Structure 1
Amino acid sequence: MKLVVACCSERAIYQFAVMNTAVLIRGMKGVLIFSVVLMVGFSLYNPVIVMKKKLTFLSYFDEFVWRSKVPPAAINSRNLTTAEVLSGQPRAEPTPQPCHPNPAFNSLTSKLKPIYKDFMMYRHCRNFPLLRKASSCDREGTFLLLAIKSLAEHADRRASIRSTWGQERVVEGALVRRVFLLGLTERQIRSQAVQALVDHESKQYNDIIQWGFRESFFNVTLKETLFWQWFSQDCRAVKFVFKGDDDVFVNVENVVDFLKEHNPSRDLYVGDVFRNWYPSRAENSKYYIPLFLYGNKPYPPYAGGGGYLLSGMSILKLHKAAEFEELFPIDDAFVGICAQKANIEVIMHRGFRTYGNIPYDPCIYQGLMVVHRVMPNELWLIWSLLKINTKPCSHFTRVFVKP
């Protein structure tokens, strides 16, 4: 009996040892295979390929997640049910909920200037309160609305425009009115907030539209879309709009003469056109656009943002197209992107000079429509020269109003 028990015990011990050895061998094989895969992986690692895959993923994320079919403005300003998001039909009632930052792009903007991080975190925020509302569209029959982008601290520029080409008047039987477009700024003059200037001008001239967003170079596009929204709600009867900066000279007589040949119920988008322009990849440029914001392709044709003309019909179409388009840092390129989406052709006109120096020759300015980068003192000088000029102008110095 003892012999049998001993025999069985030795057999159990042997089987146990065999099983443990098999498990150990399988484990060693697993470690060996993992080590080989790891070494091969490191040998094949290519940071360029990895970065390309990362950009491909981000492009996919941007195209199919970030750019959803539901308008960004609608998502930001409303509480949506799952059915409404899937159907693309958001509810109409607004909610008082604040717009929260989106940190999804923080890793891509961590080494860029802070303005890029701010833009990407709040790019989806499209609805801001209207703090001051001008009366520029209260009257019927406005033929041309002068809509001028400005900053709160540029009171001198607004004053020079009001007293020169921006006067509200009737030109060749056409009513011309104006409005200045502003956001909020923290700038001060001698330790005093410049907002006091805006409050005073708004009461005196009633030509200020101001929204409750912070001014920045990249937020000019936001100002553009807010203007389109305001126009679509309050100014639908206006026939044409001049849209420009507060450092331009506009020959309103020539503009009116040009517009009288166009039907306001049809599309019109005309200015100094830029074609086949690519995004700047120079990181020290204020126009620098990272690859994740815009790929290696040219912008659609667009008119220089210093000044261009639109029909009221085109603004309504641009407003509709912008609802389904993510904001872009460069405002005039964004207008071109929306115009392409809305099938609006941009027309080149040599009377628009948005870059380059123009001599102070009254005969030249008499033939132009828009000149960019003109400071207040220069603007008054040009205006004075035009008013007192009595000499005949030859066709060699004139730039004809016709395109």
Structure 2
Amino acid sequence: MDRLRLLPMDLPAITVNSSGSVKGKTSFVRRLAIGFVILAILGLLYVPAYHSAQSPFLGLGETPSPAEPLGSSHSVASVAQLPGWSYNTSRSLYVYIHPENTTTILSPTNICSLPPYLLIIICSAVGNQEARSAIRSTWGNKYNLDNLYNSTVKVAFLLGQSDNDTLNNLIIEENSQYNDIVQERFFDTYNNLTLKSVMMLKWVTSNCDQAKYLMKTDDDMFVNVPLLLQTLHSRTQAETLLGSLICNARPILDPKNKWYTPKYMYSEKTYPNYLSGTGYVMSMNVASKLYQAALITPLLHLEDVYITGLCAKHAKVRPVNHPGFSYIPRKMDPCVLKNAITTHKVNASNMYVIWVKLNDTSISCSNRIRIDRKPVALSRNGRHAGYYIFKRKTINRCV
């Protein structure tokens, strides 16, 4: 009797049928199984709903979260997702650019108070102070820009933000000294380069729309400013989008490749013709058209393909090749350099070497144009020289 008093008084009745099964126990197991199924369904729904809901609120200045495999989605489970731009991350530029608001952290004062003929925006990283210093001392030298050319030329550096506050504070000090830095509210990462270039278009069209031409280049480029000005002065076209033209390039589908483009970001077999992002020039009316096109064109992380390819195509602007622009490193031959508008992969020390060679009046080039020997034709299965397949016999002509 004592043992019976310890039992709960409201235990459910147990009925044993003829086969010996227990109905109460069976009912409990069934309810438990149904509960697990419901939880699993909710879990599967939660992942895409969470990503879709958070994307618009990533906000300006935030780098989209690196993607994680969505094992629940059969359509993307087999596709490696791009770090920073997962399948469900918003690719609307409105989310990141905020066209209706001023978004700059730093901006040069009075750089366009006298509208420049040519504004050169150099995309640089927060930590690349040495490269910026070399440019300021060579081809971007302010005294030369202000006094040696018949046209007004201005140079500014475009940066994002670092997650290192010390570096960000150094940028503030650098700008107070040189007054030539545009800094915007986004994390300065490789997969955010498109955001960087669209921020450039936004800043220029808002602050310097009276300029005649805009050049975008990088801080590892040497720009032959006198030759560039000569080239632009000779142009009569109302619209200009000029650089090193790349045709019939195919998206790289290898997730281990630096320039990997998953199908969910671009599904066509080839990119539109575009200009190498190492350096290109546009008239200001084209800059405005490209900016407006970017606001309605889904983002692609490859900035040159996006700006001069996809956005140019939407804006019905045709990118044009000029042999003075190149993404391939050039020989350090002064006669080659004198006929090159851009030279790629130039470190800080070589900036000074090229500068000295170009300004050495004792060098004679015998009044003839010297080019790099054995010009290389390219089968462009990629975006830059680093992963192009070189073919000397087969010419891949741009149309």
Could you tell me the TM-score, scaled by structure 1's length? 0.69
Name 2:83's counterpart in structure 1: 115
Match of residue 364 from structure 1: 336
The answer as to whether partners of 1:155 and 1:197 remain within 8 angstroms in 2 is: no
Q: Is the 8 A contact 2:66 2:82 kept in 1?
A: no
| Corresponding residue of 2:318 | 345
What residue in structure 2 maps to residue 178 of structure 1? 155
Q: Runs of 5+ in structure 2 lacking a partner?
A: 1-47, 71-75, 373-399
1:1-400 map, 5 Å: 107=70, 108=76, 112=80, 115-117=83-85, 121=89, 123-124=91-92, 125-127=95-97, 129-135=103-109, 137-168=111-142, 169-170=145-146, 171-187=148-164, 193-263=166-236, 266-335=238-307, 336-355=309-328, 357-394=329-366, 395=368, 397=370
Q: Structure 1 CA distance, aligned partners of 2:226 and 2:63?
A: 46
Distance 1:104 1:283 in 2: 13
CA distance in 2, matches of 1:127, 1:159: 29
CA distance in 1, matches of 2:244, 2:61: 39
* Residues 1:139 and 1:228: Cα distance change in structure 2 (over 3 Å): same
Q: CA deviation at 1:297?
A: 1.8
| Contact persistence 1:160–1:380 (CA under 8 A) | yes
Asked if structure 1 preserves the Cα contact closer than 8 Å seen for 2:278 and 2:327, the reply is yes
- CA–CA distance in structure 2, aligned partners of residues 203 and 326 of structure 1: 36
Shift of 1:122: 5.1
Partner residue in 1 for 2:14: none
Q: Relative to structure 1, is the Cα distance of residues 142 and 291 closer, same or farther in structure 2, using a 3 angstrom cutoff?
A: same
Distance 1:302 1:111, change over 3 A: closer
* Letter matched to residue 116 of structure 2: T
CA distance in 2, matches of 1:311, 1:347: 12
Residue 235 and residue 119 in structure 1: after superposition, are their counterparts in 2 closer, same or farther (change >3 A)?
farther
Contact 2:87 2:264 in 1 (8 A): no
- Give the root-mean-square deviation of aligned CA atoms: 3.0
- For 2:359 and 2:156, how far apart are their aligned partners in 1? 24
- The 8 Å contact of residues 362 and 389 in structure 1, kept in 2 or not, is answered as no
Structure 1 residues 97-142: Cα deviation after superposition (integer angstroms, max 9, x where no partner) = 9989799996238974662446953533323631101136432231
Deviation readout 1:317-376 (Å, 9 max, x if unpaired):
101111111111100000111001111111111111112x32211111111100111100
User: Is the Cα–Cα contact under 8 Å of residues 61 and 186 in structure 2 kept in the other structure?
Assistant: no
Q: Answer with 1 or 2: which has the greater Rg.
A: 1
Contact 1:363/1:397 (<8 A) preserved: yes
Q: What's the offset of the Cα at 1:219? A: 0.5
Change over 3 Å in CA distance of 1:123–1:364 after alignment to 2 = same
Secondary structure, counterpart of 1:304 in structure 2: strand
Deviates more, 1:288-297 or 1:143-152: 288-297
What letter corresponds to residue 194 of structure 1 in structure 2? L
- The amino acid of 2:96's aligned partner reads R
Return the alpha-carbon distance in structure 2 between the equivalents of residues 326 and 301 of structure 1: 17
Distance 2:334 2:292 in 1: 41
Q: Which moved more, 1:118-127 or 1:379-388?
A: 118-127
Question: Which structure has more helix as a fraction of its residues?
Answer: 1
In structure 2, give the amino acid aligned to 1:210. Answer: Q
Q: Structure 1: where are the runs of 5+ without partners?
A: 1-57, 59-65, 67-74, 78-95
The code of the aligned residue for 1:177 comes to K
Q: Hey, what's the Cα distance between the residues in 2 that align with 1:97 and 1:183?
A: 11
SS at match of 1:147: strand
- State the alpha-carbon separation in 2 of the partners of residues 348 and 106 from structure 1: 40
Q: Secondary structure at the match of 2:97?
A: coil
AA matched with 2:83: I
Query: Do the aligned partners of 1:247 and 1:373 also contact (CA within 8 Å) in 2?
Result: yes
Q: Which residue number in structure 2 is paired with residue 71 of structure 1?
A: none
Identity of aligned residues (%): 28
